[in-house]
Amino acid sequence: MRFPNSLKVEAGAFIGYTPVMSFSDPERDCALCPRLTAFRAENRRTFPGRHNAPVPAFGAPDAELLIVGLAPGLKGANFSGRPFTGDYAGDLLYETLLKTGLAEGTYAARADDGLCLKNVRITNAVRCVPPENKPTPEEAGNCRPFLIREIGAMPRLRTILALGLIAHNAVLKTLGEKQSAHKFAHGAVHRLKTVTLYDSYHCSRYNTQTGRLTPEMFSAVFKKILERRA
């Protein structure tokens, strides 16, 4: 079964203007990480009227492909309430999904743009925005139960794409796989017990502006996923 031809779900059915929380999401005032809780309180004061809460996944839970990012950006996903939406990294991610047929519609950097993911779901290893975009290993550990539930709630999941080392390690730990047996590398493919894990450098501003990740390199990872699933 090819990804784009299978399930198609309107984004608005799952997440629209108001992010829809599911049982796999932390509560709005989750207090598992003291540093992130304090940062969230500060952001609610500084930026009232923005999402400023854990960011739920985007896309249908019965998708076959799960993309795992790092954590919401302050003025991107943390403002919009949708992963990568309004973030610099989202420009490249959503452009690539549209180009490869894994999304339909228009990406307008807002959660109500009507963008439709096709058999894809997107989440983050850490649900709350961290200062300077850097979650600590402890924070990633605190957030892991939500990734475990997220993955457990995807009955048709076959493929995971990890964006960056932290997401890669979070996925391996979530699935009970050995990190020593599966080293992160851009373009690497890891056959795990239950799913196939693909790695890409994170599509961050830093990685794209330094040339570590080009749009062509990023598209090639998605093409590889689609070819192998065809």
Site of interaction with ligand URA (CB under 6 A) = 69-73, 76-77, 83-84, 87, 89, 124, 163
Tokens found for residue 144: 């892991």
Per the DSSP assignment, residues forming a β-bridge with 58 are 122
Kindly state the smallest distance separating residue 86's Cβ from ligand URA, in Å: 8
Q: How many CA atoms lie within 13 A of 136 on its CB side?
A: 8
Nearer to ligand URA among residue 64 and residue 87 (C-beta): 87
Q: What is the spatial distance between Cα 204 and Cα 191, in angstroms, rounded to a whole number? A: 26
Kindly state the smallest distance separating residue 110's Cβ from ligand URA, in Å: 14
Nearer to ligand URA among residue 134 and residue 228 (C-beta): 134
> For ligand URA, which residue has the nearest CB?
69
Kindly state the smallest distance separating residue 175's Cβ from ligand URA, in Å: 19
Exposed, middle or buried by CB within 10 Å (0-12, 13-18, 19+), for 106?
Answer: exposed
Q: What is the spatial distance between Cα 57 and Cα 81, in angstroms, rounded to a whole number? A: 9
Nearer to ligand URA among residue 19 and residue 72 (C-beta): 72
Kindly state the smallest distance separating residue 130's Cβ from ligand URA, in Å: 10
Kindly state the smallest distance separating residue 138's Cβ from ligand URA, in Å: 18
Q: What is the spatial distance between Cα 104 and Cα 116, in angstroms, rounded to a whole number? A: 5
Q: Are 119 and 230 spatial neighbours (Cβ–Cβ below 8 Å)?
A: no
Nearer to ligand URA among residue 26 and residue 76 (C-beta): 76
Closest among 27, 125, 49 to 83, alpha carbons compared: 125
Nearer to ligand URA among residue 186 and residue 229 (C-beta): 186
